[in-house]
Every structure is written in C-alpha cells, then in structure tokens.
Structure 1
Amino acid sequence: MSEESPVAARRTVSASDVARAAGVSMQTVSRVVRDLDNVQPATRDRVREAMTSLGYRPNRAARALRSGRFRTIGVIMFTLSSYGNMRTLDAIAEAASALDHTVTLLPVHQRTRGGVSTAFTRLSEQAVDGIVIVIEANLDETEIDLPTDVPIVVLDSSRASERPVVDTDQAQGARLATQHLLDLGHETVWHAAGPDSSFSARRRQESWRATLEAAGRPVPPVFEGDWTTSSGYRIGLEIVNRPEITAVFAANDQTALGILRACHEFGRRVPEDLSVVGFDDMPESDSFWPPLTTVHQSFDDVGRLSIEILMAEIAGSKGAASTIVPTRLVVRDSTAAPRA
C-alpha cells in the first residue's frame, strides 16, 4: 500500500474542528467569528486559542453568502499621482480596516462618463458592499450614471448631488491663505493654480478671486499649473524677474516648493521679496526652506467620515447630504509684510 503524500493528507481546518478542540458548540464558534457580544470572555478566548493553534481561517465567502455582506469597500479614483488623492486613499483604507473591511481600488484613466460607468460595472462584479468615488475631475456628477443598487459616498464633487458628499472646505482654505497675505499688507495676491480639470483647484481659484474682489483689490491673471513641483518651478521662473509680484498663493504645497526652488536659484528672497503660501500641509512642508506657510486639510477626517457615512448607508440609514471638513491656516516663515 502506497504511503499517502503530505499534500493528500492535508485537510482544511473546519469550524467543527475548532468547536471540538475548544469544547463548545458550532454556534459558539460562529458567534466568535462574527464578533458577537453574547459569548463569555473566557469562552471567547478558548475558541480563539483553538482557532490559532489549528490554523483555522474563517471563510469570508461563505459568511458573505449567509449575511449578504462582503466586508469590502470599492474605491473609484481618477488619479493616484496627486499627494491629496494618495493621502485620502490611505485614510479611507485605514478607516475601513478599523471596521474589519478591505478596500478594492479601481483607478479610472478615462475621464469620461463611459469610463466611470465601466468602473462601476467592474466593481459590482467584484462584490463590494459600497463605493467611495473620488471624482476630482472636470466631470460633473450629474453626467455620471451612478448605480441605484449600491450605497455610494462621493468625495471632491460638485455639491449638486443626491448621494452623500464629503469634502474639504476648499473655499475656506483659499480664503484664509489670500486674506492672510492681504492682512500682511500686500496690495494683491497672485495665484499659482492647479489644473482646471480638478474641482479642488477650481474651488480654490474661485475663492481666491472672490476674496480679492471683496477686498477691492486687483485680480491678477492666473498662473496655470498642474499640482507638480515642475510646474511650480516653471511659474517661479516667471515670478523671479517681476518685482511687482510680492505675494503668491500656490494651489498646493508641491507647487509652492517649485516656486521656492526658482526663487533660491535666482536670488529672489522668501519672504523678504516674495511671500508664498501653499495648500495641503504636507508632513515635509515645515522642512521646506523657509518653512512653508500653508493651509492644513485633514485627509484623515475625510477618509474616516466617508467610511462612517458609507457604513450608515449600507446599514440602511441616511446621513447628511453634505459633510464639509474645515481647514486651518498654519503660519510659518515663508510669509511676511512687503518691503516698504
């Protein structure tokens, strides 16, 4: 008789094996797996020890069939190249993980109605409980056919939405940045913008313009950028030889960093000759030279709130239609009063 191979002898550990080892019923094992409260702590510890010693892994697929829940959140995002989107994704994943949910990411490279619709179809095939969509593009939500059979929370979108929206108060942040420079005594504030395809960039630009107009100050032409340090550097090369520009509000910290580099290379002193304000408050922004005055936005709060609201939607509750996360100005050494 041939000897049975180790592979043939290997058997998947079942819940009944755990129940037998722990001396409990199958129902008790199921309660522990589902993390229900109606199990005595000592019993729960005994079951978990048995699970660990036997190498038992709960079957998520089977649990999903029984409960109708997959414990998976889908995320649709237009780009992974921006700092803001990466931080937002990280915050979403952390918040979902804290609730024992996994995240399935689907980047959308085709910024069209069809591209988003295809993304929804692909996610529905992967069985998710709900979806967070980070629109962050020049594509109005009203142009997108959002499915009606899955809970959805929208980030960085137009406010005209039937779905819950979570966003940073972009307008408040731009207003704080612009007003700070005006309060220092600058006659006006120039703006190094983000891409026009971005809702965030457009909101910041609109608020910058409105703040200048409300103060009765001249509104200069906009420097067009794309969130990158290279575009900031290109803008900085335009600024260094224009002494009439004494203050600039950059749409994000990376753009501001590029401007600072150009100023350093061509002898335009910051903040003595030019004050610079960024937006994001990247962890490295206090190590720029000089340390950057910037607008802080809480990506952690955006991610946490988006998951909290989505979980409420999944459970059948309706949350607030729009949740706006406030910003705050962090004043460092890159801004000062203009030279007399």
Structure 2
Amino acid sequence: MKPAYSLIMDYVKNKILSKELKPGDKVPSENELAKIFNVSRLTARKALENLEYESMVTRIQGLGTFVASAQEPLKGRRIGVLITNYQDTRASMLFGIVRTLQKFSMDVIPFNLDAFLANPFHEEKMLRELLKLGIKGLIIEPRITSLSDTLLLNLIKENFPVVFVDRMIEGFPQVPVVFSDNRNGGQLIGKHMKKHHVKNVLFVTEESFDVSSVKERFEGVRDEITETTWKMIGDFDKDFEVVTEMVKKEDIQAVFFCNDYLAIRGITYLREYGKGIPEDIAVYGFDNLRASIYVHPRLTTVHQDFQAMGELAALQLVKIFLGESFKFEERIPVSLVVRESCGCNK
C-alpha cells in the first residue's frame, strides 16, 4: 500500500494532468489536503515538497502553492526586469522573480533602475536594450517618471506582457500589479500609535500621492486614528531641516516616514536637532530594511515580503503567457515590526 504522502501526490498530479488545475492555479493548502486525507499537516507538506522537487508546483511563502507544470511552452523565453535597490532587502524581490521563472524554464535579464531615477529617458534606453535582447515580457517597478517613457506606454497599449511590481502610478492604463498591502501597513502603524496616545503626527514622503504605495500608507494610518491632527511633507527633497522646523512649529509627537531610508536619516537629524527618540518624538518607517536594526534607537517599521512579491509577479506573467485568468491586483500581506523608536521597550 502506498504511503499517505504518495496518495496526496497522485491526487494533486491527477488534477493537474486532467487540467482541472491549470498552470498558475492555486493548489489545495497543507491544511486542506491533511483534512481530505485525514493525515497530519507534516504528511501533506511532504507531498507538496516532493511535487515542488519534481517541478510540478511552485511554493510561495505566505501565499500558497501553485501549479508550475507547463515548462515546454515557455522554455527559453527571455523576461526583462527593471527594479531598484539590488543591494538591500529588495534583492530578495529579484531572487523571487528569477526563482519562479526558472521553474518554467524562462531566462531573466535584470537591469537596475537606481542610477537612472531622475531621467525617464534612461529608463526608456534600458527598455530598448532589453527589447534588442529579445525579451518577450517585462516586470518593472514604475516611477512617476515612467509616465514619460513613451516606449513603455506604447508596449502596454500593444498588449506586450507587462507586470508592475511594488506600486501602481496614477495615469497609466490598467496593468497587472503585485504590491504589498500598503493600506493595511498604515493601519497597523495607526493602531500602534493609539497605544502611545499620539495626537500630533507628521507624514513625510519623497514621492507624490500619485504613487499608490504612498497614498495607501497615508490613508491607512490616517483612517485608523481619526482624532489625530495630521501634518504632511510631500515630494520631500531630503532637506531634513524642513522636517525639524515642522516638528518644532507644530509640536509633533510622532513622524511616520514613508520608507525606512527616510526614517533612518530622519532619526539622525532629529537627534542632532536635540530631540530624543522616542522620549520626545516617536518615529515609524516602512520596509523593514536590514539597516533598520542598526540605527539607534532601532526602527519600528512595517515588514514587506519582497521575495513573495517577486514570485507572484513572475507567476502573473506566466498566466498572461498561457492565457490563464488572473487578478489585475495582487496584494502581499504585511506585518508590524515593533522596536524602540516608537517608545516600546524591546
């Protein structure tokens, strides 16, 4: 008699081979399979791990297991990737993209946008290079300047397979997008601010509210603490004297920086200005970059799962190629990471 995990493997394989489950479809979870076969979750997990080893499925942490059995139709296709910050936490986004597309025997050509953010024509130049290299699809982290990238806009209008990752920009035609649940991240920060009875809050962003992540983070925290007085610095040009002056003028009790890079620098400037963190001002960030644990005090922030973001963006592209149905918006769950900068003792 076959062991239980083999029976589970046969069950899932039959659903895939009969096309009841198609490439990119979600496979029943460990808990669901354990209940169906009246076995432990560990037995179900072993079955799914073996199926992944056989390249029948791909597992995305925190999201589930998906069918990944159609390598041949996609084999050798080149996919261009235009994202920023290879050197920090977002390197895991690229890893997730590569890891997933390799399971479908596709090749990845990544370009780093960091050096070209100020000039949209450089983005367009990189995209032309990728097209010369024969890419058949694109995963890109769009910026406000991307609205001036006429080549990208034309590709989208011509139904070239494009998936946005990490954010959506107002003004673009509808494009499949995979991003964090930024609104919930803002809500988590807002709920935590309530515990500290914060009344006057400053929100600081270096990008405009046309960027979905910026808008949703602010709206999430604002909607959670409705009785709080809000001040805002938008399109911030990294002149931290503006922040310190606002803190002094408005008697700010907490600053929510839209990302960890700003928050880490903000803590340094506020301390140089003579403000105790968190004694005088609480500070919150968003991203959970590695550097957030090395600043003093350590930063309270929201963790984003960049690897899952990359994996799901790649899976979206696979579904487009195979003509399978997909959601135009996929949101990755986030979590609050509480450290000392908010006033908690950890």
TM range (shorter): 0.5 to 0.7
Counterpart secondary structure, 2:94: helix
Counterpart secondary structure, 2:191: helix
Give the alignment partner of residue 261 of structure 1, picking from 243, 268, 291.
268
1:92 aligns with 2:97: yes
**Cα offset, 1:147, TM superposition:** 5.3
1:186 aligns with 2:207: no
Distance 2:262 2:160 in 1: 38
Distance 1:308 1:259 in 2: 37
For the pair shown, the structure with the greater C-alpha radius of gyration is 1
Provide TM-score, normalisation by structure 2: 0.64
Which deviations, in whole Å up to 9, do the C-alpha atoms of 1:58-83 show, x marking residues without a partner?
xxxxxxxx977433211234x55996
C-alpha change, 1:83 and 1:128, in structure 2 (3 Å) is same
Which deviations, in whole Å up to 9, do the C-alpha atoms of 1:152-180 show, x marking residues without a partner?
22221158754422111122212222332
**Corresponding position of 1:284:** 291
Q: What is the number of equivalent residue pairs in this alignment? A: 265
**Corresponding position of 2:228:** 217
Letter in 2 for 1:101: M
Counterpart secondary structure, 2:340: coil
Letter in 2 for 1:290: P
1:174 aligns with 2:186: yes
Deviates more, 1:246-255 or 1:91-100: 91-100
State how 1:1-340 maps to structure 2 within 5 Å: 69-77=75-83, 80=85, 87-97=92-102, 99-106=104-111, 109=116, 121-137=128-144, 144-145=153-154, 146=156, 148=158, 150-155=160-165, 156-158=167-169, 162-196=174-208, 198-212=211-225, 215-222=226-233, 224-225=235-236, 231=238, 233-238=240-245, 241-242=248-249, 244-336=251-343
Distance 1:278 1:131 in 2: 30
C-alpha change, 1:224 and 1:122, in structure 2 (3 Å) is closer
C-alpha change, 1:182 and 1:222, in structure 2 (3 Å) is farther
C-alpha change, 1:81 and 1:304, in structure 2 (3 Å) is closer
Checking the alignment, whether the CA contact within 8 Å between 1:141 and 1:158 is kept in structure 2 is no
Letter in 2 for 1:103: V
**Cα offset, 1:305, TM superposition:** 0.4
Distance 1:252 1:125 in 2: 35
**Cα offset, 1:217, TM superposition:** 2.7
Checking the alignment, whether the CA contact within 8 Å between 2:80 and 2:138 is kept in structure 1 is yes
C-alpha change, 1:204 and 1:194, in structure 2 (3 Å) is farther
Q: Percent identity?
A: 24
Letter in 1 for 2:229: P
Counterpart secondary structure, 2:233: coil
Provide TM-score, normalisation by structure 1: 0.65
C-alpha change, 1:133 and 1:141, in structure 2 (3 Å) is farther
Letter in 2 for 1:248: V
RMSD over aligned CA atoms reads 3.6
Distance 1:110 1:264 in 2: 30
Distance 1:318 1:73 in 2: 20
Distance 1:302 1:141 in 2: 25
Structure 2: which 5+ residue stretches go unaligned? 1-71
C-alpha change, 1:106 and 1:181, in structure 2 (3 Å) is same
C-alpha change, 1:220 and 1:149, in structure 2 (3 Å) is closer
**Cα offset, 1:207, TM superposition:** 3.6
**Cα offset, 1:119, TM superposition:** 5.5
Distance 1:107 1:147 in 2: 24
Distance 2:104 2:239 in 1: 39
Deviates more, 1:293-302 or 1:161-170: 161-170
Deviates more, 1:66-75 or 1:300-309: 66-75
C-alpha change, 1:243 and 1:81, in structure 2 (3 Å) is farther
Distance 1:104 1:97 in 2: 12
Checking the alignment, whether the CA contact within 8 Å between 2:75 and 2:106 is kept in structure 1 is no
Distance 1:187 1:67 in 2: 57
Letter in 1 for 2:184: Q
Which deviations, in whole Å up to 9, do the C-alpha atoms of 1:6-25 show, x marking residues without a partner?
xxxxxxxxxxxxxxxxxxxx
